[in-house]
Structure formats: C-alpha cells, structure tokens
Amino acid sequence: SGEELSSWIASAKASLGSRVAVMGHFYQRDEVVQYADFVGDSFQLARAARELPDAEAIVFCGVHFMAETADILTGPSQAVILPNLAAGCSMADMADIDSVEECWAELEARFGTSPDESGRVPVTPVTYMNSSAALKAFCGEHGGIVCTSSNASTVLEWAFERGQRVLFFPDQHLGRNTAKAMGVPLSTMPLWNPAKAGGGLSGEALDASRVILWNGFCSVHKRFTVSQISAARAAHPGVRVIVHPECPMEVVDAADSAGSTDYIVKAIAAAPAGSVFAIGTEINLVQRLAADYPQHEIFCLDSVVCPCSTMYRIHPAYLAWVLEELVAGRVVNQISVPSRVAAGARVALERMLAARP
Ligand code: 13P
Ligand code: SF4
C-alpha cells in the first residue's frame, strides 16, 4: 500500500543518511518528489549532482539521459541509480550517434574542416541535454557543447562566436525558438531529416544556414497548440500564458513568454497574488505549482492531461526497492557510462557549465 511504501522509503532514507541523495526532476509525480533531497530542472540537477562528493549513491528520479549526466559529472566511487531502467526519453532517442556521424560527414564534405580568415570553424555541434551520453561525447570531441532549456541562448552565443554555423540536435523546437529569439532568420535554419539522403536538404539551403536543426521533438510539448492559447485568453481575460521552449514555434510566439521549467517556477513565484496563468508544460509540474501557489489561478493549457509517460515510469515502489537494496549493501539499476564516452561528454558538459553567465 501507499502507506507501507512511504514508511519503507522513509526508514531506508533515514538509515542511509547522507550516504545517499535522491534527485527529483520537476516532472516527477508528487508521490516521488516528496522524497527528493533535490528538486529541479535538468540543469539544476546536473549541477547539484556534481556538488555531492559525500554521497556514495545518487538515486536519480528522472529519465535515463539525466542519470547518465549525473554519472559523468560525479566521482568514480559514486553510483548513480535509475529506479526504473525503462525510463527513457523519446526525444533523446530521435538522434542516434550513427545518424549524427553520417550528418557530420556530409557537412564536413561540404564545408571542410578548416577555420576561415577570422578563425571561425565551419560547424559547431550543440546537443540538448536531452540526448545520449554518446552524443554529448561527440560534441566534446568535435569542439561542441551541451545546452539545457535554461541556458540555450548563452550556449548558442558561445557557439556563434566559435564558428560560422551550428548543428543543433535533437530538439528542433528548442533550437528554432532560441535562435529566432536571438534574431537568427528562419530562412537560415533548415531542418535536417536523418531519414533522407543529405538530410533532405539542398546545397543552397546548407550554404545559407546559420543553424541546422535536427528533426526531433518532445512528444509532450509538441501537443500544445495556438488554439488552446486563444481559448485560454477568451475564457480568462488577463491570463499570462507561459510555455516551455520545446513547444512548436507558433505556440511560443502566441504565448506571453517561454522558458525552462525553472523559469516557469520563478515567474509564478514572483507574480502578485491573484494572477492567472495558463502553462504549457508537463502536467505534474503544473499541478504542483497550482497546489503550491493557491494565491494564483494556475492551469494547464491542455485540458486533456498529458504527462510524460517515461518520467511517470518512476513509481515510488521502484524507489523503495533501490533504497532497500542500498541498505542491504547492494547497488541495483546502476547507470555507468563507459569511461571513454564519459571523458568526451564531460568536456562538452564542462563547457556548458563554464559558459553560463
Ligand atoms: P528542463 O528540465 O531543462 O526544463 O527540460 C524539460 C524536459 O523536457 C526534461 O525532460
Ligand atoms: Fe523527453 Fe519530453 Fe519527457 Fe522531457 S518531457 S523526458 S523531453 S519526452
């Protein structure tokens, strides 16, 4: 039962003390978040994991790429545990290393590898945090960098200083929305389709490109629509519409603002009492915000509940199981990135952590 699970988790945590840290992403269900020692977005959790030298085990209640990132950023004696190994991310799966390497080979064949007169390289790879460790390593090894939704414009600025154009994967929407807000023309952001020869792009489109976008998306955020925003505005005059930048461009353009999960949390916390918010992001976060800020009216733009199905795979029973195994001296469901991949990925992640203003 729920009560039994609660007392198992609480007593396991009490006996493990500071030897274990439980991380919870904002999109986790409340039944899991209540046990988290750290709650945050993917950037905050990556940074927090790096600053826990005393924890022998980090139990990551989130998805696979987040646990990989924590493993890369923590010490070799620290075990990172993903309570359910089936908690992946469909967006991360949309860019695999073989397809990215094929794309890269074509870009190198077209643009070469030598810098121009001002020292700028032809292409800089940028991967969203929501990607496999292999892709982060690819970026580390090819002069590239990682970004999250909370630092994407800082990272793109870094990449534009370094080179003539960016290859951005896997999320086309975060790439397009961020570059557009920085003034990059849409006509210079072709979409690379890995299922087609040459990405389905003409040589002219590639020559004119500033940001080559990968054809990936988040199945949760792509569901939000402009008509949901119009309906919210009609029903609630004065509503503030805030959406995540993984939403399609038309939705971001129709919203009042767009930002990472942490941005959304801070915007709500700073608003005067009695504000009305329509939010375009994962439902567990929206419902928690509505409960935490009863002085506002907060609702999800999509009235059909849309949880992230893979985040939801972390059930408290899995958390209880991995903690009890730790109490018994056993590590289960460990995520270990091979050391060669980890070394390359760490380079790209450290560039990101250093690029943040
Ligand atoms: P952030 O935590 O960076 O906002 O990312 C949202 C997301 O989709 C996580 O999977
Ligand atoms: Fe992946 Fe989207 Fe779920 Fe985040 S919300 S884990 S990007 S599918």
25 is in an annotated binding site: yes
SS3 content of the chain, % helix, strand, coil (to 5): 50, 15, 35
| More confident of the two residues 19 and 3 | 19
CATH number for the domain that contains residue 130: 3.40.50
| Total domains present in the chain | 3
Note whether residue 345 is domain-resident: no
Note whether residue 205 is domain-resident: yes
275 is in an annotated binding site: no
Q: What is the pLDDT of residues 231-278, one digit of tens each?
A: 999 999 999 999 999 999 999 999 999 999 889 999 999 999 999 999
Pocket test for ligand 1, best of 26, 39, 41 (most atoms within 8 A of CB): 41
129 is in an annotated binding site: yes
Note whether residue 351 is domain-resident: no
pLDDT score recorded for residue 21: 97
248 is in an annotated binding site: no
Nearest residue to 103 (alpha-carbon basis) of 193, 174, 210, 5: 193
Residue 357 has pLDDT above 60, yes or no: no
Note whether residue 231 is domain-resident: yes
pLDDT score recorded for residue 3: 87
Over residues 157-167, mean pLDDT: 97
Pocket test for ligand 2, best of 26, 60, 91, 128 (most atoms within 8 A of CB): 91
Over residues 45-67, mean pLDDT: 93
The Å distance, Cα 63 to ligand 2 centre, comes to 8
Note whether residue 357 is domain-resident: no
CATH number for the domain that contains residue 36: 3.40.50.10800
206 lines ligand 1 (CB under 6 A): no
Pocket test for ligand 1, best of 23, 27, 38 (most atoms within 8 A of CB): 27
Q: Which of 217, 239, 256 is the last residue of a domain?
A: 217
Nearest residue to 305 (alpha-carbon basis) of 279, 284, 277: 284
**Do 178 and 213 share a structural domain?**
yes
**Do 9 and 104 share a structural domain?**
no
Q: Which of 300, 322, 345 is the last residue of a domain?
A: 300
Q: In the β-sheet with 276-280, what is the strand arrangement from edge to edge?
A: 257-258, 240-243, 276-280, 297-300
**Do 233 and 160 share a structural domain?**
no
**Do 125 and 211 share a structural domain?**
yes
**Do 242 and 227 share a structural domain?**
yes
Residue 175 has pLDDT above 90, yes or no: yes
Note whether residue 100 is domain-resident: yes
**Do 259 and 238 share a structural domain?**
yes
pLDDT score recorded for residue 223: 95
**Do 76 and 105 share a structural domain?**
no
Peptide bond into 170 cis (omega under 30): yes
Domain limits for position 273: 221-300
Q: What percent of the chain has pLDDT over 90?
A: 92
**Do 249 and 207 share a structural domain?**
no
> If you take atom 5 of ligand 2, which residue's CA is the nearest one?
308
Residue 306 has pLDDT above 80, yes or no: no
284 lines ligand 1 (CB under 6 A): no
Nearest residue to 44 (alpha-carbon basis) of 71, 20, 23: 23
**Do 267 and 171 share a structural domain?**
no
pLDDT score recorded for residue 317: 97
The Å distance, Cα 43 to ligand 1 centre, comes to 8
Residue 98 has pLDDT above 70, yes or no: yes
Q: Which of 193, 217, 241 is the last residue of a domain?
A: 217
pLDDT score recorded for residue 228: 97
The 8-class DSSP code of residue 228 comes to H
ipTM for the whole complex: 0.96
**Do 191 and 96 share a structural domain?**
yes
Q: What is the pLDDT of residues 118-139, one digit of tens each?
A: 999 999 999 999 999 999 999 9
Measured distance CA(93)–CA(131) in Å, rounded: 7
Note whether residue 52 is domain-resident: yes
What's the whole-model pTM score? 0.95
Query: Which residues, listed in sequence order, are joined to residue 145 by a DSSP beta bridge?
Result: 126
Nearest residue to 128 (alpha-carbon basis) of 98, 102, 148, 107: 148
pLDDT score recorded for residue 356: 65
Q: What is the pLDDT of residues 186-212, one digit of tens each?
A: 999 999 999 999 999 999 999 999 999
**Do 109 and 58 share a structural domain?**
no
CA dist list (Å): 15 to 36, 61, 247, 316, 322? 16, 19, 42, 18, 14
147 is in an annotated binding site: no
The Å distance, Cα 280 to ligand 1 centre, comes to 13
Note whether residue 172 is domain-resident: yes
Look-up: residue for tokens 């907060």?
298
**Do 230 and 209 share a structural domain?**
no
